[in-house]
A = this chain, B = another copy of it.
Amino acid sequence: MHPAHFHVTVDVVALTITDGVLKVAVVQRDSKTSCIDQRRNGDVREIPRDSKHHWALSGGHVRYDTENINEAAARELFEETKIKVDPESLVQLGAYGALGRDPRPGRTVSIAFLAFQPMFSDPIAGTDAKQARFFSVLDLLTEPNRLEFDHELMLLDAIQRVREMVLTTPIATSFCPPQFTMSELREVYEVLWHPAYDKEISDADRQRLAAELRRYENSDEYQLLSSLKNQSARGNTESRTAQPRGLSSGSVYSRIESEFPEFRYQLAQMPQERLNQITKILMTEAKSNVPKKPEIKKRLDPANFARKVEKIPGFIEKISDSELRSSMSGTGRPAQLYRRGDIQRLDPPLRLEVKRGKGKTKWD
């Protein structure tokens, strides 16, 4: 008979896609309250990490006498990120209980969950960004921002699982707004199949691919674009004074100054209408300069993708008597809107030709 020396914890991988980038909810715990596998880097590899770069999945102990593990997962997620999910919607990834994942006395077994129930468009509202935020998954796989060792494993397992699930269940729609266009849905699949998320890829390759995507995300234009998007989406005026971070190159601003010479002094007093004009120009400029999303596995053929998806009964429904939506990029013909259907499983499953045999499989 073995004494009860176990800690049972839960960790939640909450995924979302914003602006074509896969992101995961992470928290920054201070060492006092951190209970799961702190400072786990020593025995695997030495990773440069400071307090600003120390992220972990949200999670914590299961209350042993009052809650089921999925309830614990939902509770921890809410407590730490303010994301509210139905415990039943959480998908269990499995138990991670390797020896030595926790240096404290006893033994910790953590059960990982996957969440994407809500549409995380503007998530973790009301939480201090220092403590919880969505973070680009690729960033968490490159150097300065690495997750705990086995949180990284959980994350990769989670992505693997999501790939399976978007082919067999309608959860891909959870990454989209309630009303979405075909290309928004298609982008979910294109993003998820970026080769950098492959589990069996070499670390060097992942670093290279991640760096590529990172360059894209960190480009001034992308930063500007997403901040403008948020601004115009919620029409919040608070960000009028907050300058988009990372903006340093002058090409965009110089154009504004040429068209609006009074910019420098009158921005604060400018009427909203004029500000919208400026925003529009900024977005246009940004869009035209954002580099192409680098080598997504397979740019899916829009026509064929749409046909395939529409053929699956109950997956999505055309919103017939509704407005069309202008496409993500602003240009192009406005698109038909869809909403998610009412089925639980895709039947038949969606099939993308995912050539798995990249490096190792032998083809004669």
Q: List CB contacts (< 8 Å) of A318-364 with chain B.
A: 343, 345, 347, 356-357, 361-364
Contact, CB under 8 Å: A313 / B95:
no
Task: Give how many copies assemble into the complex.
Answer: 2
Contact, CB under 8 Å: A107 / B313:
no
A6 CA to B110 CA in the complex, in Å?
12
A109 CA to B65 CA in the complex, in Å?
12
Contact, CB under 8 Å: A68 / B99:
yes
A293 → B minimal CB distance (Å): 26
A364 CA to B345 CA in the complex, in Å?
16
Q: List CB contacts (< 8 Å) of A1-38 with chain B.
A: 1-8, 35
The verdict on A260 contacting chain B, using a C-beta distance below 8 Å, is no
- Residues of B with C-beta under 8 A to A65: 5, 107
Q: A109-B109, A345-B356, A347-B356 are in contact. Are A95 and B92 (CB under 8 A)?
A: yes
- Residues of B with C-beta under 8 A to A99: 66-68
Contact among B64, B67, B68 with A6 in the assembled complex (CB-CB below 8 Å): B64
The verdict on A275 contacting chain B, using a C-beta distance below 8 Å, is no
Q: What would 17 A/B residue contacts be, using CB atoms closer than 8 Å?
A: A2-B7, A3-B64, A4-B6, A4-B106, A5-B65, A6-B6, A6-B62, A62-B107, A62-B109, A68-B97, A69-B95, A92-B94, A97-B111, A313-B361, A313-B363, A345-B361, A347-B357
Pick the 7 closest A-B CB pairs, nearest first: A6-B6, A64-B107, A95-B95, A5-B64, A69-B97, A2-B61, A6-B8
Closest-by-CB residue of B relative to A72 is B97
Residues of A at under 8 Å CB distance from B? Answer: 1-8, 35, 61-69, 92, 94-95, 97-99, 106-107, 109, 111, 313-314, 343, 345, 347, 356-357, 361-364
Contact, CB under 8 Å: B95 / A314:
no
Taking A95-B109, A313-B364 as known contacts, 11 extra A-B pairs with beta carbons closer than 8 A to each other, sorted by chain A number, are A1-B35, A2-B7, A2-B63, A6-B64, A8-B8, A64-B107, A67-B99, A95-B95, A95-B111, A343-B362, A345-B361
Q: A8-B8, A109-B109, A356-B347 are in contact. Are A2 and B62 (CB under 8 A)?
A: yes
In this complex, the member of A6, A62, A68 whose beta carbon has the largest number of chain B beta carbons within 10 angstroms is: A6
Chain A's interface: helix, strand, loop or mixed, by majority? loop
Contact, CB under 8 Å: B4 / A97:
no
Contact, CB under 8 Å: B97 / A8:
yes
A357 → B minimal CB distance (Å): 5
A356 CA to B349 CA in the complex, in Å?
10
Q: A8-B6, A313-B362 are in contact. Are A1 and B97 (CB under 8 A)?
A: no
- Residues of B with C-beta under 8 A to A1: 35, 61
A109 CA to B6 CA in the complex, in Å?
10
